[in-house]
């Protein structure tokens, strides 16, 4: 009788160990399937955070350019194709980008190609990178309308000239490689163009 009890107890113990082994095996399989998805979400979170950070830096770079431009004189606008005072704005944007560890592709040192898309407007395309270069569009004659209040005549409008700076920057996404773990063979088009705009009233 004691032998039967011992044998039965031993067999039940073996069955318990086998069950544990089965559960461990299923957990490993489940983890192997979920790991690529977890990695994809983690990389995506960091990637979108990085894009948001770059966007904020570009906004500040555009503000710096608009601040510099609004203080520049206007006597050299006849210089073709690039007035020195407008060059100063493009350089200021490039220098700020360098300060915040963004690749300015030569803007800070005058490495650019200038086009004139309109009246009192210049577009500086950096030439120090092979493709997907940042650009700075500088508009020195953007007019806005402001309604005057008392003590001025009610209903009278004042027109203000401003400098508007638009910075575009290519952002290369990193989660494309992680997407291939979830869906083998998938690709992400990228890079995407981030845009920042700032405008300030001309003081000269």
Over the stretch 85-95, which tens digit does the pLDDT of each residue have?
Answer: 999 999 999 99
- HSE at residue 70, side-chain half, CA atoms within 13 A, is 20
28's enclosing H/E stretch is helix 2-70
Strand partners, 171: 192
Cis ω for the linkage preceding 151 (within 30 of 0): yes
Closest CA to 147 of 158, 136, 131, 137: 158
C-alpha triplet 99, 100, 106: angle, nearest 5° = 60
Q: Which of 26-40, 51-65, 86-100 has the least mean pLDDT?
A: 26-40
* Range of lowest pLDDT (13-17, 37-41, 151-155): 13-17
> How many residues would you count in the chain?
204
Please tell me the predicted confidence (pLDDT) of residue 134: 96
- Under 8 Å between Cβ of 114 and 124: yes
- How many domains, in total, are found in the chain? 1
Domain of 115, in residue numbers: 2-201
What per-residue confidence (pLDDT) applies to 173?
Answer: 83
Could you give the CA distance from residue 22 to residue 154 in angstroms, rounded to a whole number? 84
The answer, yes or no, to whether residue 25 has pLDDT greater than 60, is yes
Our measurement of the distance from residue 108's CA atom to the centroid of its chain's CA atoms, rounded to an integer in Å, reads 19
Average pLDDT over every residue of 90-115: 96
DSSP output for 50-101: HHHHHHHHHHHHHHHHHHHHHTS-STTTTSSS--HHHHHHHHHHHHHHHHTT
Q: Which whole number is the average pLDDT over 180-186?
A: 64
Instruction: Please compute the mean of the pLDDT values over residues 122-145 and round it to a whole number.
Output: 94
Q: Which tops the pLDDT comparison, 20 or 185?
A: 185
On the question of pLDDT at 185 being above 60, the answer is yes
Decide which of 179 and 131 is more confident: 131
In this prediction, residue 21 carries a pLDDT of 55
DSSP label at 118? E
Confidence class for position 97, pLDDT limits 50, 70, 90: very high
Of 179, 201, 190, 192, the C-alpha closest to 55 is 192
């Amino acid at each position: 009788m004691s032998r039967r009890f011992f044998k039965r107890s031993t067999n039940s113990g073996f069955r318990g160990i086998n069950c544990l082994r089965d559960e461990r095996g299923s957990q490993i399989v489940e983890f192997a399937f979920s790991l690529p998805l977890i990695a994809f979400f983690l990389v995506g979170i960091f990637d979108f955070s990085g894009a948001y950070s770059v966007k904020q830096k570009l906004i500040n770079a555009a503000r710096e350019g608009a601040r510099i431009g609004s203080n520049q004189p206007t006597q050299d606008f006849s210089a073709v194709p690039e007035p020195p005072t407008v060059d100063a704005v493009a350089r200021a944007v490039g220098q700020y980008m360098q300060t915040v560890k963004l690749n300015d592709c030569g803007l800070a040192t005058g490495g650019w190609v200038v086009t004139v898309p309109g009246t009192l407007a210049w577009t500086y395309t950096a030439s120090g990178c092979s493709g997907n270069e940042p650009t700075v569009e500088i508009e020195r004659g953007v007019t806005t309308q402001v309604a005057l209040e008392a003590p001025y005549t009610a209903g009278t409008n004042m027109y203000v000239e401003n400098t508007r700076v638009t910075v575009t920057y290519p952002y290369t996404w990193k989660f494309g490689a992680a997407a291939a773990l979830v869906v083998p063979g998938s690709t992400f088009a990228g890079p995407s163009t981030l845009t920042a705009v700032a405008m300030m009233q001309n003081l000269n």
